[in-house]
Structure 1
Amino acid sequence: MSRASPASRSEISECVRRSLDRYFKDLDGEKPCAIYDMVLNNIERPMLEVVMREADGNQTVAAEMLGINRNTLRRKLVEHKLL
């Protein structure tokens, strides 16, 4: 299995960075809270959707692609109502 190019990985990082910059600019004086959970919740679902599509719905393959246990993947799919 091929690994993503450094350019692809940095593009993802830059997208997250820009989104967080925009988030802080849009706070308009409000105090930020639970940023970690907010970011994970906003990234995890689309990541799971794309990986499951790339794995043709095969949870074992998707779990291998993600580098996580199949049971962990299944729990996350249920949490995000993708099952």
Structure 2
Amino acid sequence: MPSLHDCVLHQVGRYFADLGSEAPQNLHQKVMEEVERALLEKVLQQHAGQRGIAAQCLGINRNTLSKKIQYYGLEI
């Protein structure tokens, strides 16, 4: 089973391959936001939208989770 690190390396490599000669802009911010959004979606899905349990799983405060849900426009 590949590690999370290996999966990220693979996907970032694919992203660069898809870009070809085009240079990415604000890559760090884009990756951080995309990863965070996907992580929140999956954890909320895994815990049937129960924010308290999802926040505990993520190691963040429930209010912080609620703000992030609103920021990313996630529908639970």
Structure 2: tracts of 5 or more residues without a match: none
* CA-CA distance at 1:75 after TM superposition: 0.8
TM-score by length of structure 2 reads 0.80
Equivalent residue, structure 2, for 1:24: 16
5 Å-filtered alignment, 1:1-83, equals 7=1, 10=3, 12-83=4-75
* CA-CA distance at 1:81 after TM superposition: 1.1
SS of aligned partner of 2:21: coil
**Structure with more contact order per residue of length (Cα contacts < 8 Å, sep ≥ 6):** 2
Q: For the residues of structure 1 that align with 2:33 and 2:61, how far apart are their CA atoms?
A: 19
SS of aligned partner of 1:56: coil
Q: For the residues of structure 2 that align with 1:24 and 1:54, how far apart are their CA atoms?
A: 30
Amino acid across the alignment from 1:55? H
Paired residue total: 75
Question: Percent identity between the aligned chains?
Answer: 39
* CA-CA distance at 1:23 after TM superposition: 1.8
